[in-house]
Amino acid sequence: MYKKITHNITEEHFAHPLAAELKKKVDKTIIKPTLKSAFPAKTSSETALYLASHELFGKLYAGVRDYLVAALEGAPDTAYIAKQLLSDIEKFGPVLTVYYSTQVGNEVVLHLTEFAETFTELVTAAKIGKDYAKLTTTALSHLDNLARVLDRINPTLWPEATVKEYLYEYASYVLEQVSARVRRDWESDSVAKEKSSKVLMAGPITAGKLLGKPDLANVFAAGLISQFPALFTN
Domain presence at residue 113: yes
Domain presence at residue 6: no
d(CA 232, CA 234): 6
d(CA 58, CA 43): 22
**How open is the CA angle 160-82-171, to the nearest 5 degrees?**
30
d(CA 111, CA 91): 13
Q: Which residues of the chain have pLDDT under 70?
A: 1-41
Per-residue pLDDT, 42: 79
Per-residue pLDDT, 31: 37
Domain presence at residue 28: no
Residue pair 122/178 in contact by the 8 Å Cβ criterion: yes
- Give me the number of domains the chain comprises: 1
Domain presence at residue 62: yes
User: Which residues are CB-contacts of 218 (< 8 A; sequence separation ≥ 6)?
Assistant: 37, 38, 40, 50, 53, 54, 203
Q: What is the domain range of residue 119?
A: 49-227
pTM of the model: 0.82
Per-residue pLDDT, 17: 40
Domain presence at residue 11: no
Domain presence at residue 29: no
Per-residue pLDDT, 40: 65
Domain presence at residue 98: yes
Domain presence at residue 161: yes
